[in-house]
Amino acid sequence: MWQAEYVASRLASFGFESVLVPLVSGGDTDMRPIDGTRQVGVFTKRIQQALVDDEADVAVHSLKDLPTAHDPRFHLAAVPERETVLDTLVTLDGRTLSELPAGAKVGTGSTRRMAQLKALRGDLDIQPIRGNVQTRLSKLRSGEFDAIVLAEAGVVRLEMHDLPRSSLSLVDMLPAPGQGALGIEVRSEDHAAVSAVGRLNDRSASFCVTVERTVLAELHGGCLAPIAAHAITEPTNEGAMRLSITARVMSADGQTCLHETANCKITPSDSLDRAKDLGRQIAEKLKTAGAEALIQASRPA
């Protein structure tokens, strides 16, 4: 709801009034662990169906939940300015990861986080957890978990500033492709919506998430695989941008980590195809290093 209200307010600033259409997705109601036995898009399909049924004209997604497979019915019209990409460790007393005792039970719904946590602290008990932020916090407070890991963007957006937490560095915990970003979809043939929503697009954020999601797509990982990627842009002296990406593919137990970096220059005239080329380049590096075998091994038999 925060995301939808944010997009509505941004549209209103450009003179476009809108009406919120609250929806409940399968990912919101099904509390089983998210793993390879379940289809990707559990949080996005219901919202996309609202576009198909003309129930809504604009779909607001957490971009990291949006499948990378192209669907010609939909157009990703905008990626607004990105929130923090960090993950954060939440405890009752604000302990850092290094301060947790051996055997502490840590909850996360992400195989990417699980793998990186196991690599950092193999002595911890990493367990799956589901539900929204409030549900996960209640499980922490009831003693079911000693700590939980959340996307910091959600904590910031919900203005939970007093929550005892410790940010995990990008060195220790690389984010999911698209983490911290919103993806705003419309029907491909709805040119009025494409034009209106397009005003919310942030060029830097769009290039960054495009290269990250291209890596994910090329590795055929889906949002459930232990794949992490983070891209940034920096201005150059020539008035262009330097687009840089770091990507990881890990074994589920955290014992093996493939790590690659790459960068390219983006000129004002370049399209998102430039970012896609960079994504394909780093994906090929990871494949050569053995990424496909790690991804396949992480999937349930």
Across the range 67-86, mean pLDDT stands at 95
Q: Are 47 and 25 in contact, with CB atoms under 8 Å apart?
A: yes
Whether the predicted pLDDT of 28 surpasses 60: no
Tell me: the pLDDT tens digits for 91-121?
Answer: 999 999 999 999 999 999 899 999 999 999 9
Whether the predicted pLDDT of 300 surpasses 80: no
Tell me: the pLDDT tens digits for 178-202?
Answer: 999 999 999 999 999 999 999 999 9
Non-local (6+) Cβ contacts of 99 within 8 A are none
Query: What is the pLDDT, as a whole number, of residue 25?
Result: 57
Q: Are 212 and 66 in contact, with CB atoms under 8 Å apart?
A: no
Domain 203-301 architecture: 2-Layer Sandwich (3.30)
**71 flagged as catalytic:** no
Of the listed 54, 65, 146, 162, which one is catalytic? 65
Tell me: the pLDDT tens digits for 130-179?
Answer: 888 889 999 999 999 999 999 999 999 989 989 999 999 999 999 999 99
- What residue has token string 């970012």? 275
What is the band of 216 on the pLDDT scale with cuts at 50, 70, 90? very high
Q: Are 106 and 117 in contact, with CB atoms under 8 Å apart?
A: yes
DSSP run (H or E) holding 157 = helix 152-157
Closest CA to 292 of 203, 208, 200, 225: 225
What are the b/e assignments for 31-61, b being 16+ CB within 10 Å?
eeebebeeebbbbbebbbebbeeeebbbbbb
Domain 87-168 architecture: 3-Layer(aba) Sandwich (3.40)
Q: How far is CA 61 from CA 178, 210, 233, 253, in A?
A: 11, 15, 23, 30
Domains 87-168 and 203-301 share a fold: no
Query: What is the pLDDT, as a whole number, of residue 38?
Result: 40
Sorted by where each begins, the domain ranges of the chain are: 1-80+181-201, 87-168, 203-301
Q: The domain 1-80+181-201 belongs to what CATH superfamily?
A: Periplasmic binding protein-like II (3.40.190.10)
